[in-house]
């Protein structure tokens, strides 16, 4: 480029930079762009903003993620990592620099994985693998719990501790399996199938937290199909609360963590069982006490009635009656006797008054004819020898003269 000797159009730096800015910020593609590169010069100062440079073999690009976006997204970003970022170009005029204002940072490849996730999800969903109607209830009191997870690691330990605490009663069978890497999906499928042969009441499928790649085995089509086909109901507890894998959708129940999965499998705890037992025991005791009390009361009333109707009482009653009659009879008799007695006394006295002997003592005499013993009450009757009875004896007399 040959500069002209005389410039016709001078621009100030500001004007020049402003023009560059308009150019870059006016490009709609560069305002909504995904780029990938390697992270270098990563800086995360106290202000909360994230500064870094993305580079490839031949070029580099300054980037910044502002604090608000950084706090919301909490991106996984490390020095040297291969990442995909989304953002828009901006020009920082004071320093004459262009930089990418980033709002999304992802490990490289994650975008592609996520697309695959959506594709599979859509396909399996249309096949009906995620239908709510096909979800089975989890037994309230399982006898046998199956677990598919890594034999080492916190997930298993947490699940066993939770189960032991809530329902030590139950039998646990572990089907160990790797939970990430290429070997994981076939191993998980195998574990689920073998475990189902042991007829568990429920199966826990779990692993601890990780990135989308770590958890990828649980998005593998083979594993998801095995989960849907499982004879025993499956509780899926993979990763953290916000992680959703396709196994979560295919499972009969999703748990936010492995520990929560174990809790959901043990809805009835040993405390519930104790309480239930206590309830039955109390009821039993109460019922039998009441039964006995009722019987006692009934017997008691029968005994009373028996006593009341007994011959003994009847006999007593009769005795009393008899006594009463006797008493009345006696009383009546006595009374009559008394009356008669008085009567007799009266008559006796009257008789006594009429007693000829009494008259005799007054000087009268009873004269009877010796011949025939007839009483002489008239002169005409006085003949022959006469027996004269006076008060103190008798003598004979002959009639001398009659008047």
Partner 1 sequence: MAKTKSTQKPVEELSYEEALVELEGIVESLEGEQSPLEDSMKLFERGQSLAAHCSALLESAQLKVQKLVGESVIPFEEETE
Residues that bind partner 1 (CB under 8 A): 141, 143, 151-152, 157, 160, 163-164, 167-176, 191, 194-195, 197-198, 270, 273-274, 276-277, 280-281, 283-284, 287-288, 291, 295
| CB nearer partner 1, residue 222 or residue 274 | 274
State the minimum distance, in angstroms, from the CB of residue 288 to partner 1: 4
| CB nearer partner 1, residue 302 or residue 315 | 302
Can you give the three-state secondary structure of the chain, one letter per residue? CCCCCCCCCCCCHHHHHHHHHHHHHCCCHHHCEEEEEEEEEEECCCCCCEEEEEECCCCEEEEEECHHHHHHHCCCCCCCCEEEEEEEEEEEHHHCEEEEEEEEEEECCHHHHHHHHHHHHHHHHHCCCCCHHHCCCCCCCCCEEEEEECCCCHHHHHHHHHHHHHCCCCEEEEEECCCCCCCHHHHHHHHHHHHHHCCCCEEEEEECCCCCCCCHHHHCHHHHHHHHHCCCCEEEEECCCCCCCHHHHHCCEECCCHHHHHHHHCCCCHHHHHHHHHHHHHHHHHHHHHHHHHHHHHHHHHHHHHHHHCHHHHHHHHHHHHHHHHHHHHHHHHHHHHHHHHHHHHHHHHHHHHCHHHHHHCCCCEEEECCCCCECCCHHHCCCEEEEEECCEEEEEECCCCC
State the minimum distance, in angstroms, from the CB of residue 117 to partner 1: 30
State the minimum distance, in angstroms, from the CB of residue 287 to partner 1: 4
| CB nearer partner 1, residue 83 or residue 175 | 175
State the minimum distance, in angstroms, from the CB of residue 244 to partner 1: 28
State the minimum distance, in angstroms, from the CB of residue 174 to partner 1: 5
| CB nearer partner 1, residue 18 or residue 169 | 169
State the minimum distance, in angstroms, from the CB of residue 147 to partner 1: 9
| CB nearer partner 1, residue 163 or residue 257 | 163
State the minimum distance, in angstroms, from the CB of residue 258 to partner 1: 15
State the minimum distance, in angstroms, from the CB of residue 200 to partner 1: 10
Count of C-beta atoms within a 10 Å radius of residue 107: 18
| CB nearer partner 1, residue 163 or residue 259 | 163
| CB nearer partner 1, residue 103 or residue 193 | 193
| CB nearer partner 1, residue 271 or residue 318 | 271
């Amino acid at each position: 480029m040959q500069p002209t000797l005389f410039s016709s159009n001078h621009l100030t730096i500001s004007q020049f930079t402003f023009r560059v800015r308009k150019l870059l910020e006016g490009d709609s593609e560069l305002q909504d762009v995904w780029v990938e590169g390697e992270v270098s010069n990563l800086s995360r100062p106290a202000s909360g903003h994230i500064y870094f440079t993305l580079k490839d073999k031949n070029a580099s690009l300054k980037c910044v993620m502002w604090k608000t976006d950084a706090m919301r997204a909490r991106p996984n970003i490390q020095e040297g990592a291969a990442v995909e970022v989304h953002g828009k170009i901006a020009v920082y005029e004071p320093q004459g620099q262009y930089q990418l204002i980033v709002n999304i940072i992802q490990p490289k490849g994650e975008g592609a994985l996520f697309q695959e996730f959506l594709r599979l999800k859509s396909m399996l969903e249309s096949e009906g693998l995620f239908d709510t109607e096909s979800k089975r209830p989890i037994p309230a009191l399982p006898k046998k719990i199956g677990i598919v997870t890594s034999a080492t690691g916190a997930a298993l330990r947490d699940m066993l501790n939770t189960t032991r605490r809530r329902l030590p009663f139950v039998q646990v069978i572990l089907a160990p399996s790797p939970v990430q890497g290429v070997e994981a999906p076939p191993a998980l499928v195998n574990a689920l199938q073998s475990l189902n042969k042991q007829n568990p009441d429920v199966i826990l499928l779990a692993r601890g937290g990780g990135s989308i790649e770590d958890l990828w085995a649980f998005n593998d089509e083979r594993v998801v199909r095995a989960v849907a086909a499982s004879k025993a109901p499956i509780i899926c507890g993979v990763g953290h609360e916000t992680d959703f894998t396709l196994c979560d959708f295919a499972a009969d129940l999703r748990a936010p963590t492995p520990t929560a999965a174990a809790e959901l499998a043990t809805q009835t705890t040993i405390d519930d069982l104790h309480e239930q037992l206590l309830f039955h025991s109390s009821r039993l005791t109460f019922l039998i006490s009441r039964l006995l009390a009722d019987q006692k009361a009934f017997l008691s009333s029968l005994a009373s009635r028996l006593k009341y109707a007994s011959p003994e009482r009847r006999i007593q009653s009769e005795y009393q009656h008899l006594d009463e009659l006797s008493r009345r009879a006696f009383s009546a008799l006595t009374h009559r006797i008394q009356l008669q007695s008085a009567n007799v006394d009266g008559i006796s006295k009257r008789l006594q008054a009429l007693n000829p002997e009494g008259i005799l003592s007054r000087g009268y005499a009873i004269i009877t004819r010796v011949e025939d013993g007839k009483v002489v009450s008239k002169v005409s009757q006085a003949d022959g020898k006469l027996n004269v009875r006076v008060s103190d004896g008798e003598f004979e007399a002959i009639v001398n003269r009659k008047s």
